[in-house]
Structure 1
Amino acid sequence: MSSASGHRNPSRSVSSSTVIADNAAGYHDLKIDGYLTIKGFPTGVPIKSSPFTVGGHRWRICFFPNGDRAITVGPFSLSPEASPFLFLDEVVARPRWWFSVPPSDLHRHLADLLQSEKGADVVFQVGRETFPAHRCMLAARSPVFSAEFFGAMKESRTAAEVVQVNDMEAPVFKALLCFLYTDSLPEMRKEDEDVMGQHLLVAADRYDMERLKLMCEGKLCEYIDVGTAATILTLAEQHCCHGLKKACFHFLSDPEKLRAVMTSDGFKHLSRSCPSIKNDLMTMLAP
């Protein structure tokens, strides 16, 4: 009969240890010129950065354009050059990403708002035509509209307000609204640009819209000739368009062109409306 004392359990030895790891942080910017040209790289083929040091170890950023089966951070992988026992989170890498951002289409949405008439709270009566619009939009774009709709003495209204617009043709006001909402002018026929430009310049000055006014000045400079110079010069003088006025005087500095302009109907209107300009032109003809 065997003795139980011959089957004693062996004693167990218990021990422990502690590893204190220092944290090291840093970053390395990797810039890739011509990013779109590297999309054809095979899977697993990296682009490597220059070596850099963090926490006493040398590192590289390996960028895999088409992925890798190794441990990755997005398409990036961090690999130590010195020690195989480093952890991935010892380095903080900040890769720069490139995105194709489409151009702003705010103007298209605002054009749709004007076209749909949703939420319109003011109606303009121009001749026989009406144009619904939004007071906040107009006030944001024109100091004159801002004072008209939200001046200190204006009362708040809930119903749509009707505003009569005199001394302006309906197509001109429609083009003005288009600019107010989209910051651009509607397409128009080439033969209508000079006349529309003159009317829009007057409207821009009326509603204190400096950008539109300068755009009209620039466009009208292209249409200065013997038949239009006097009319455009009158417009420039009446609405303080210094650049347009200078362009007209440059055109009229040619004595032959000036003599031809002085026989036009536009020069008669210029003489009546702006006598000082007439005297300046006459002086230009003096020897």
Structure 2
Amino acid sequence: MANSSPSSVNKHISETSSRCRTECVATAHNFEVTEYSLLEGMGIDKFVSSSTFSVGGYDWNIRIYPDGWNWKEEDKGAYMSVFLRICSKPTTGVKVKYTFSLLEKDGKVSCLYSETHTFQSGFWGCPKFIEKSKLKELLSRNDDCFTLRCVLTVMKEPRTEDVSTVIVQVPQSNLHTHFVNMLKDGEGMDVTFSVGGQQFSAHRCVLAARSLVFKAELFGQMKETAMKHIKIDDMDPSVFEALLHFIYTDSLPSDSDLDRNVELQHLLVAADRYGLDQLKAMCEGKLCQKIDVQTVATTLALAEQHHAAQHKDACLRHLSSQEVLRAVKETDGFKHLTASCPWIMMDILEKVAPPSGA
């Protein structure tokens, strides 16, 4: 008889799998008791009840027995009892895990009890939850009140399910590629922008979906709503082109001009103008990496005027050295900063280290 190795025998065996899944539902109920001392002496097996609350498709409430429940003669009146009661009538047993916590005014837990039980009906809990002597001390420092917190977890019936062993490889999202093609192909474009003598076409719906400013211009009460050709002033064509690229792709174009400080500043201004917070943050991040003596003053003015908080903080940190600040004061950018944002000087003074010996 020919011998077969284990590897050759198992090589072509098909496999199936299954899984046992157990689910649960958890809820917490807080039962506040005030002027508790008035409840003492109501008698053995006498209780006060919380309102009814639902967990896992069943109704529950909490019972507190101030003078205890069903005590032996020697334990009568020595403990406060606490029970959980199922108000519904389940057709099968309901397995639950419940925890009782006695909370003081400051949220401190003074007593804790936890148990797992399968309820068919009736109530279940802790006859000796807390001694009366300890409870009296707690009440004296909590204005005669406490909160009983019950965290109840209802466990559903376990179920077995088949598990598919077929692994389907899901391709990476190519949504951005389709939008790039929309921008390049020009199909369906219904609005044209004139920027610095150049024409840029786009889709109204895409612009409106990405920018609330564009939405107001193209679908609101503004005059641009009915226009197919819109002129944009005070913006360089390359900046608007980068803006459109971001709107369609969620990324910056791979353009070397955007590595330059001035172009990034202009793009940040455009992003702020059209409410594109993500693009604005991307520009801030790149500008923060380019801060030096010659650019810090102009970029700080830009950050202040366009509420670029992270960029502003980076500029102020750069100016925190007195040596750097002296060099920056000699630049034209600093003159522009003091003229356009004179109040920023107070922020700079707070950052600059005091002179030695001061």
TM class by smaller structure: 0.5 to 0.7
Deviation at 1:43, TM superposition (A): 4.3
Alignment of 1:29-178 (within 5 A): 43-45=11-13, 93-152=162-221, 157=226, 161-178=228-245
With normalisation by structure 1, the TM-score equals: 0.65
Alignment CA distance shift 1:225-1:213 (3 Å): same
Q: Structure 1 residues 50, 125: closer, same or farther in 2, change over 3 A?
A: closer
- 2:278 maps to a residue whose letter is R
Change (3 A) 1:43 1:206: same
Cα separation, 2, equivalents of 1:47 and 1:247 = 59
Count of equivalent residues: 208
Query: Which amino acid in 2 is paired with 1:143?
Result: L
SS in 2 for 1:123: strand
- Residue type of the alignment partner of 1:98: I
Q: Secondary structure at the match of 1:275?
A: coil
Whether the aligned pair in 1 keeps the contact of 2:17 and 2:162 (CA below 8 Å) is no
Partner of residue 285, structure 2: 218
1:50–1:116 CA distance, 2 compared to 1 (3 A): closer
Deviations 1:64-117, CA, capped at 9 Å, x for gaps: xxxxxxxxxxxxxxxxxxxxxxxxxxx973324322222111111111111111
Q: Which moved more, 1:104-113 or 1:188-197?
A: 188-197
CA distance in 2, matches of 1:270, 1:92: 68
Q: 2:168, 2:238 → 1: CA distance?
A: 42
Measure, in 2, the Cα distance between the counterparts of 1:103 and 1:51.
28
Relative to total residues, which structure has the larger helix share, 1 or 2?
1
In the alignment, the residues of structure 2 paired with residue 48 and residue 96 of structure 1 have an alpha-carbon distance, to the nearest angstrom, of 7
Partner SS state of residue 93, structure 1: strand
1:185 corresponds to 2:153:
no
Describe the shift of the 1:205–1:196 C-alpha distance in structure 2 as closer, same or farther (beyond 3 A). Answer: same
Residues 118 and 49 (structure 1), Cα distance of their counterparts in 2 relative to 1, 3 Å cut = closer
Point out where structure 1 has 5 or more consecutive residues left out of the alignment.
1-39, 53-90
Deviation per CA, 1:37-86: give whole Å up to 9, x if none: xxx9974245687999xxxxxxxxxxxxxxxxxxxxxxxxxxxxxxxxxx
Which protein has greater RCO, CA pairs closer than 8 Å, 6+ apart?
2
Using the aligned pairs only, state the percent identity.
50
> Unaligned 5+ residue runs, structure 2?
1-7, 21-159
RMSD of aligned residue pairs (Cα, Å): 2.8
Aligned to 1:208: 275
- Change in CA separation of 1:99 and 1:281 when aligned onto 2, cut-off 3 Å: same
Residues 188 and 42 of structure 1, relative CA distance in 2, 3 Å threshold: farther
Cross-structure match for 1:262? 329
Instruction: Give the partner amino acid of 2:273.
Output: R
* Partner of residue 307, structure 2: 240
Aligned counterparts of 1:108 and 1:41: Cα–Cα separation in 2: 47
Greater CA radius of gyration, 1 or 2? 1
Query: C-alpha distance in 2, partners of 1:113/1:174?
Result: 14
CA contact (8 A) 2:192 2:202 kept: yes
Query: What SS does the aligned partner of 2:231 have?
Result: strand
Q: Distance in 1 between matches of 2:298 and 2:187?
A: 40
Structure 1 residues 42 and 187: CA distance shift in structure 2, 3 A = farther
TM superposition score normalised by structure 2? 0.53
